[in-house]
């Protein structure tokens, strides 16, 4: 396993086998509160991972024992002028869109607090694995703002408009069991196993065609919210992108020869 640091607070681990990379939030003294510097580092790490054709799955993890990420660094924000906040906005947006726009499947491994921008980082992923210590929520209206990392758009796509409205307007925190029942997280696991299970899932995903994975993610994301006929056109375009690929030829050959595919990735 190789490691690469992006600034002081973000680490990328590339697992040598399985084509899985971890995007690690590593600001333990602040429970991974997202400062301007950390946001810039998240965006930089995502840009590097998006260009790495050897990476098939990204797992978003945390080094803090009691928190995934508590959201924006409000201590830093408390010192900001209005002009400072305006200048910071594109930097923070870059962190959340960086995760959201990763071209490969993404899995969030959540434990402890995942609040505000922290939960939005998880919502930007395709799958959320959470352990039983997880506490999630979007409490921004309780401090005079609104979710600004995609929460007002991503949460209703996950749980429906009415449920999202109740959660955002009330600013309430949701503990793990209820979060699983409401669909705020996808897989609930025993305490301390979120990273392990997320990496296991990532390894299973990464065993599949890299061309197929990227095309399937593109179709899923672009088709969201479209009228059915338009969505099917998105799917057809993605299908055509893979139908004549080396991966498709190898996948069919491997199936007929009863062997494991050796994906060319093109």
Q: Are 206 and 20 in contact (CB under 8 A)?
A: yes
| Choice among 120, 149, 179, 215 that is catalytic | 120
| Choice among 67, 140, 150, 251 that is catalytic | 140
22: annotated active-site residue: no
160: annotated active-site residue: no
Q: Is 128 helix (H, G, I), strand (E, B) or coil?
A: strand
> Cα–Cα–Cα angle for 256, 261, 262, nearest 5°?
135
DSSP per-residue codes, 40-82: HHHHHHHHHHHH-TT--EEEEEES-SSEEE--B-HHHHHT--H
Q: DSSP letter for 260, please.
A: -
| Choice among 98, 117, 212, 251 that is catalytic | 117
191: annotated active-site residue: no
101: annotated active-site residue: no
Helices (H) and strands (E) in the chain, counts: 11, 11
What residues are annotated to the active site?
72, 117, 120, 140
């Amino acid at each position: 396993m190789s490691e690469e640091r992006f600034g002081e607070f973000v680490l990328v681990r590339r697992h040598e086998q399985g084509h899985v990379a971890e995007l690690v939030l590593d600001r333990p003294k602040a429970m991974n509160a997202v400062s301007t510097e950390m946001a810039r580092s998240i965006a930089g790490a995502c840009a590097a991972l998006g260009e790495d054709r050897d990476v098939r799955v990204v797992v978003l993890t945390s080094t803090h024992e009691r928190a995934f990420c508590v959201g924006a660094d409000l201590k830093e924000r408390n010192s900001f002028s209005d002009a400072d906040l305006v200048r910071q906005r594109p930097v923070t947006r870059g962190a959340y869109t960086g995760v959201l726009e990763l071209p490969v499947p993404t899995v969030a491994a959540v434990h402890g607090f995942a609040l505000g921008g922290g939960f939005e980082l998880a919502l930007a992923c395709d799958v959320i694995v959470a352990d039983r210590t997880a506490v999630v929520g979007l409490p921004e209206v309780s401090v005079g703002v609104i979710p600004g990392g995609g929460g007002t758009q991503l949460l209703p796509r996950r749980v429906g408009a009415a449920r999202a409205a109740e959660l955002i307007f009330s600013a309430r925190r949701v503990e793990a069991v209820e979060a699983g029942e409401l669909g705020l997280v996808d897989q609930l696991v025993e305490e301390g196993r979120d990273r392990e299970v997320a990496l296991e899932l990532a390894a299973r995903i990464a065993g599949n065609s890299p061309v197929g994975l990227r095309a399937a993610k593109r179709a899923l994301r672009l088709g969201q919210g479209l009228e059915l006929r338009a969505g099917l056109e998105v799917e057809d375009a993605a299908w055509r992108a893979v139908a004549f690929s080396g991966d498709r030829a190898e996948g069919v050959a491997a199936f007929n020869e009863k062997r494991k595919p050796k994906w060319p990735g093109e």
